[in-house]
Amino acid sequence: MAGEQERMTVSAWGGGESPFAVPWPKLMMWLFLLSDALTFAALLSGYAAMRLTAGGWPRQADFFNINFVVGPMTFILICSSATMAVAVGAARRGDRALVARFLGLTILGGLMFLGMQAFEWTSFIREGARLTGWVGNADGGPLPPMFPATFFVITGFHGGHVTSGVIYLIIKAIQATRGRFSAEMVEVAGLYWHFVDLVWVFIFTLLYLL
């Protein structure tokens, strides 16, 4: 049994074979997502350090509408991730009409998320938050400038990912309806979209809830 396993390992890494048993675009996407995960981890550890050194931190619920805006945003992004998963499954079955429909739903979810994030940013900026601190903060004492700084940088970086994801999916949806279509390319796009949802899980918890 051990000999058999050794033989298999040697042959898998011996060249002329794909040790990961995935097509290269998928492997490259995984590697990109790993580097991206570490970038987000760097941003979030920076956030943790700034929050710990700030001394005090405002209650997020005083600035953000968790129950009626941020919660539903999270809900929508999870739903768009689920529709993307169905699109990938449909692509694997070669059902191109279903792929186009579910890619459309995913794009719609992404756009709704972006719209709500824009609303959230607008109301936060109206309350005096800026990238480097606060303006016109009359009562309630000084607020830590790291609060808006980390918020804008991290949600902005994530929003940029959602925006490029929406563009990416629009291109894939157009290609799917025009015939330039492969199950693999939908799956690779799906990996990216799920990753964006995955990162939001942590941003939602760390920036808004804790």
Partner 1 sequence: MREGADAAHGGGRWYQTYVVVWVWLLAFTVIEVGAVALRLERALLVTLLLALSLMKAALIVAYFMHLRYERLNLIYLVLTPLILILVLFGGVIPDALNAFHLRPRP
Question: Which segment (80-88, 122-130, 151-159, 161-169) binds partner 1 by CB under 8 A?
Answer: 80-88
**Minimal distance in Å, beta carbon 180 to partner 1?**
21
For partner 1, the binding residues in 43-72 under the rule CB under 8 A are 45-46, 48-50, 52-53, 55, 66-67, 71
Residue 42 touches partner 1, criterion: CB under 8 A:
yes
Query: Which residue from 8, 28, 171, 209 is in contact with partner 1, where contact means CB under 8 A?
Result: 209
Binding mask 1-40 for partner 1 (x = CB under 8 A): -----------x------xxxx----x--x---x--xx--
Query: Which amino acid belongs to residue 204?
Result: F
Residue 119 touches partner 1, criterion: CB under 8 A:
no
Count of CB atoms within 10 A of residue 7's CB? 10
Residue 81 touches partner 1, criterion: CB under 8 A:
yes
List, in sequence order, every residue forming a beta bridge with 130; answer none if it has no partner. 133
User: Which of 42/135 has CB closer to partner 1?
Assistant: 42
Query: CB under 8 Å, gap of 24 or more: what pairs does 7-12 form?
Result: none
| φ/ψ of residue 134, rounded to 5 | -125, 150
Residue 114 touches partner 1, criterion: CB under 8 A:
no
Count of CB atoms within 10 A of residue 90's CB? 21
**Minimal distance in Å, beta carbon 58 to partner 1?**
15
**Minimal distance in Å, beta carbon 178 to partner 1?**
25
User: Which of 15/55 has CB closer to partner 1?
Assistant: 55
> Residues in the site for partner 1, rule: CB under 8 A?
12, 19-22, 27, 30, 34, 37-38, 41-42, 45-46, 48-50, 52-53, 55, 66-67, 71, 74-75, 78-79, 81-82, 84-86, 89, 92-93, 187, 190-191, 194-195, 197-198, 201-202, 204-205, 209-210
